[in-house]
Amino acid sequence: MRQSSQISKLTGLCAGFAALSIFALSSVSGTANATDAAPMAPAAEAKAPAVPGKPVSDPAAGEALYNVGDSTRGVVACITCHGPKGQSAVGTWPKLAGQHSAYIAKQLHNFKEGARANAIMMGMAMSLTDQDMANIAAFLSKQAPSQGVAQNKDTIDLGQSIYRGGIASKGVPACAGCHSPNGAGIPAQYPRQGGQWAEYSNAQLLAFREGVRKNSAQMTIIATKLSDQEMKAVADYMAGLH
């Protein structure tokens, strides 16, 4: 996730990767006769996607592109902003280590299609293929999840109350219902939020509320019901979940 208002100071973002597909094909002929036919060794076949139409992910290829990019296609290394193994150094850029692969791939697709607005990421995603996105996502999902701590002792009770119980008077559901009690999220549906930078989480809530980010109708509805104080409190609380 990313907020355009926080990225103007950086000139490049990374979201790149190289598609690598190796197929081995061999056939061995046997000598056959009427009484003793030697069976032919079957040809090795390329592994088919588990889901028709979706590429088989290659974490190793994703790691290579994450770390060094692909200059032949103008893809910048993701590590520049998101840090080694997805552990970014500042809240301007989200931590991606341990994030669900399906969620990462979806966000990259949204950037490329324009469903999620971010000038830098939209530009970077344009050079990525579906295979690139699947590989990068697979690599990041295998990294150890990020750790963090809540910083504001004055709002931790409010943040905990919102995350675990929601705000009934405003029709705000408990965040834990989708992002899980420990912030791990639900694979392929809801992102991991535990350990994420509070600054980044707060920025995304603001983006949803202000209509800048439009790729989740559910989050837009929820964010419009939260005050600035409530957003900051729950964002800070989530930073300490693990």
Going from N- to C-terminal start, the domains of the chain cover: 4-18+53-141, 156-239
Q: How far apart are CA 100 and CA 192, in angstroms?
A: 7
Q: Which two tokens stand for residue 180?
A: 């899980």
Do 156-239 and 4-18+53-141 fall under one CATH topology? yes
Residues in the chain: 242
pTM across the whole model: 0.78
Q: What is the DSSP letter of 213?
A: B
Give the C-alpha distances (Å, rounded to integers) separating 89 from 48, 59, 66, 80, 127. 38, 23, 16, 10, 25
CB distance 98 to 146 below 8 Å:
yes
CB distance 235 to 179 below 8 Å:
no
Instruction: Give me the pLDDT at residue 28, please.
Output: 31
Instruction: Give me the pLDDT at residue 51, please.
Output: 59
CATH number of the 4-18+53-141 domain: 1.10.760.10
* CATH 3.90.79.10 fits domain 156-239: no
Q: Average pLDDT of each block of 10 consecutive residues along the chain (242 residues)?
A: 39 36 33 36 45 82 97 94 97 97 97 94 93 98 95 97 98 98 94 98 98 96 98 98 94
Q: How far apart are CA 211 and CA 208, in angstroms?
A: 5
